[in-house]
Amino acid sequence: MEADHPTPSGLWLPLVTPFRDGMLDEASLRRLVRHYAGEPIDGLILAATTGEGLTLDEEEVERLVALAAEELAAIGRRPPLFLGLSGSDTRKVAKALQHTAAWPLDGYLVTCPYYTRPSQEGMVRHFSALAEGTARPIMIYNIPYRTGVNLGNAAMLELAARPNIVGAKDCSADMAQSFDLLRRKPPGFAVLTGEDAFFHPMLTQGAEGGVVASAHVETRAFAAVRELLRGGDGPGALAAWRAICDLPGLLFTEPSPAPIKHWLWRAGLIDSPEVRLPMVPVSGSLAARIGHEVERLRTGAAPAVAVAAMS
């Protein structure tokens, strides 16, 4: 496999998948891609957790990728476009890699096998087999509280030696494990936090960036935190972070991506906040809070989101 894959870095957006009347909302999808291509994002991920990938059928995923790539080509900006993949059968995931080989993609975000709870050796073999089955770069998505299994740092570092396993979306929810991985990772292997609330602390410890669902909102503010740190302005980065650090709490008050979709709908970026079962729309109380915040941003009023309100 090629050894010169660029290292993922910066602010990556796990794009929501807009629906309307049970169908993929192509007009809203095009609007979203155009909008975020004009924002300071460094990569897009389609059909992952925030994109409700497990509810999409094969034809919808293919259409989703084609439309996103088409829209990016039309506007002349092409951030890396990754596809989210998951599965507990290595053979099936490998077939998905083969099936999507001709799609206009730049790489994959692949979760650890869920439900079956394989050993560390089993996961090393799983990701090794996948890496051997594609020339494209793979980011490993380690999220134990969803999959039921944690890919430890020893196994992660073994996999990092493979040239097209280029990084990890870290959602271990264990800061000691995350910081240890940051200290030990080899050059060319990126650690991007997937915990929105940990974005600033992970960057201060050397993370290359983040896959941040909350960056659907206040995209420029999230990007500014990283840019200020890269420029050596630690106090400025901390101040920028404190201005938005309560936003993930609001957007994850109820299961994601319903709150994010509700916000985008209220902001006029998508035509419906629809989600697919088993996800359900936000509650009336959360809808009111989100509506208040959307209006606050429109008018430039002082923040009303507070840590106490997140409980």
- Annotated binding-site ranges for pyruvate: 50, 211
Catalytic residue among 36, 141, 185, 261: 141
Catalytic residue among 36, 95, 114, 169: 169
36 is catalytic: no
Backbone dihedral angles phi then psi of residue 278, each to the nearest 5 degrees: -85, 5
Distance between CA atoms of residues 38 and 100, nearest Å: 27
User: Which of 168, 189, 181 lies closest to 112 in space, CA to CA?
Assistant: 168
User: Which of 229, 231, 230, 196 lies closest to 211 in space, CA to CA?
Assistant: 196
SS3 of residue 221 by DSSP: helix
Q: Which helix (H) or strand (E) holds 64?
A: helix 58-75
Distance between CA atoms of residues 8 and 160, nearest Å: 13
92 is catalytic: no
Cβ neighbours of residue 7 closer than 8 Å, sequence gap 6 or more: 166, 167, 188, 189, 190, 208
For residues 287-301, one letter each, b for 16 or more C-beta atoms within 10 angstroms of the residue's C-beta and e for the rest, the string is bebbeebbeeeeeee
CB 151 within 8 A of CB 112: yes
User: Which of 196, 190, 156 lies closest to 173 in space, CA to CA?
Assistant: 196
Distance between CA atoms of residues 139 and 208, nearest Å: 13
SS3 of residue 261 by DSSP: helix
CB 250 within 8 A of CB 68: no
The number of residues in the chain equals: 311
Question: Which residues belong to the active site?
Answer: 141, 169
